[in-house]
Amino acid sequence: EPEVTQTPSHQVTQMGQEVILRCVPISNHLYFYWYRQILGQKVEFLVSFYNNEISEKSEIFDDQFSVERPDGSNFTLKIRSTKLEDSAMYFCASRRDGPLGGGNEKLFFGSGTQLSVL
């Protein structure tokens, strides 16, 4: 089955530094998402991206965060000036376009990037 791939699997950074988390969604998918999960807590929505623009973002996704689709395959999350509380597992997800049903609604998740801010 096709997979969403994320790199790196682990990222350690110093507080105040910038990090870029990378994702390669499944090739025929058109909706892209970033979620995060702080250890022991729920999976939280950050942002959704469609047609080369942000379609929705949560309160968490403030000016510190940005997303980009720099080419036809990659989807990135940039976190500027990282803080201790940004330490979390970050998941990328994607899904197909099309009417609901037949699998179009199914969100595929990557295996995540564990970000540790020291």
Partner 1 sequence: GQNIDQPTEMTATEGAIVQINCTYQTSGFNGLFWYQQHAGEAPTFLSYNVLDGLEEKGRFSSFLSRSKGYSYLLLKELQMKDSASYLCAPSDTGFQKLVFGTGTRLLVSP
**Binding residues for partner 1, per CB under 8 A?**
31, 33, 35, 41-45, 48, 50, 55-56, 89, 91, 100-101, 105-112
As measured in angstroms, the least distance from the Cβ of 88 to partner 1 is 13
Distance CA 82, CA 58 (A): 18
CB neighbourhood size of 6 (10 A): 22
Distance CA 114, CA 37 (A): 9
As measured in angstroms, the least distance from the Cβ of 49 to partner 1 is 10
**Is the Cβ of residue 16 or residue 93 nearer to partner 1 in the bound state?**
93
**Is the Cβ of residue 18 or residue 56 nearer to partner 1 in the bound state?**
56
**Is the Cβ of residue 10 or residue 81 nearer to partner 1 in the bound state?**
10
**Is the Cβ of residue 6 or residue 82 nearer to partner 1 in the bound state?**
6
As measured in angstroms, the least distance from the Cβ of 57 to partner 1 is 9
Cα separations (Å) of 112 from 69, 80, 93, 99?
18, 19, 9, 28
- 8 Å CB contact between 108 and 93: yes
